[in-house]
Amino acid sequence: MRQGLLLLASTPLLLSAGPHAIAQAQQSLQPQACVTVNTNGTPALCIAPGSGRTVWFRDCERCPQMVVIPGGRMDVGEDRQARNIVFEKPFAIGRFAVTFDEWDACVTEGGCGGYSPRDNGWGRDNRPVINVNWADAALYVAWLSRKTGHSYSLPTEEQREYATRAGTRTRYWSGSSITLDQANYDLPVPSRRRPGDDWGDLEKARRRTVPVDSFSPNHWGLFNVHGNVWEWTSNCWRREMPASEAPATPAGSTTCGRRVARGGSWNDFAYLAASGARIGFAAASRNPMQGFRVVRQLR
């Protein structure tokens, strides 16, 4: 995977966000120069929110790599569903979708129900784990929390969009349109194309997952926030996001039949990978378009 400053076992550090937190000053509720992050068996680390392009941490050797997201205020959602949301405190989110290697570590240690998802012949290692339903993802975060002693969960859909946008308000974090050089999605035939689609050659569509560190990360250091795999969130599905300015809260019943997924996939058109796009999947479904990433509370 791409190189940067990986903090697993080190002495205390003060790490500056530098130029990578480009939207942080406008979006923050207050200056956030440094957040203390405790990792297992190591001294506390001090990480600047929004510095994820160069600085990340993880709680064990085969745990997900995490970046620190600044607190702030932002409009989330699209068009008439847009609403203002406040994140009063920073939080950590995975740089990548959870990989097969990370999932297999859970299975090896007796977690994740012993379930070994199919990779559809595309390879495992650092490709995103696929063919996992919402309950599978919940088992993984429960195992990760037990293993590390830290509170992991699936992101709310608001957290997922906020981290995807990284301070931007364009359709994609990189601008108003996107190409296959920037993300992994499918191309519609010409008769079904719409604004925001790549009008390139249909033969360039990959029609399978790619490694999680493919393409450039967004401004806060997250990879593949557009395309590759749909990512489960904690939210129960409802057609419209609630029109509220209340702070984001973990969402929903543990028994709802449909869950919100974000990000689009290798099998979907570009407009479904937009920052504000959302879809509801049957929580019990396992298919090769679905994966997930995790969030972690910062104490």
What pLDDT is recorded for position 125?
96
User: How many Å apart are CA 95 and CA 151, to the nearest integer?
Assistant: 17
Token output for 241: 């996001």
- CB distance 171 to 177 below 8 Å: yes
Q: Predicted confidence band at 242 (pLDDT cuts at 50, 70, 90)?
A: low
What pLDDT is recorded for position 294?
98
What pLDDT is recorded for position 14?
35
What pLDDT is recorded for position 94?
98
Token output for 88: 């009063």
Instruction: Give me the chain's average pLDDT, please.
Output: 84
Strand-pairing partners, residue 55, are: 5
Dihedral Cα 139, 62, 91, 230, nearest 10 deg: -60
Chain centroid, CA 81 distance in Å:
21
Does residue 226 surpass a pLDDT of 70?
Answer: yes
Does residue 6 surpass a pLDDT of 80?
Answer: no
The pTM of the full predicted model, rounded to 2 decimals, is 0.85
Q: What is the mean pLDDT of residues 15-24?
A: 31
Least Cα distance to 63 among 96, 36, 30 occurs for 96
What pLDDT is recorded for position 209?
97
What pLDDT is recorded for position 45?
86
Could you report the per-residue pLDDT of 260-291, keeping only the tens digit for each?
999 999 999 999 999 999 999 999 999 999 99
- Alpha helices, DSSP H, located in the chain: 24-27, 100-108, 134-148, 157-165
Could you report the per-residue pLDDT of 43-92, keeping only the tens digit for each?
788 999 999 999 999 999 999 999 999 999 887 766 656 678 889 899 99
- CB distance 231 to 261 below 8 Å: yes
Dihedral Cα 256, 262, 268, 273, nearest 10 deg: 160
What kind of fold does domain 72-299 have according to CATH?
paralog of FGE (formylglycine-generating enzyme) (3.90.1580)
Q: How far apart are the first and last CA of the chain?
A: 28
Q: Predicted confidence band at 197 (pLDDT cuts at 50, 70, 90)?
A: low
- Where in the chain are the domains? 72-299
Q: Is pLDDT larger for residue 188 or for residue 107? A: 107
Least Cα distance to 262 among 250, 248, 279, 238 occurs for 279
Q: What is the mean pLDDT of residues 126-130?
A: 98
What pLDDT is recorded for position 248?
42
Q: What is the mean pLDDT of residues 217-233?
A: 98
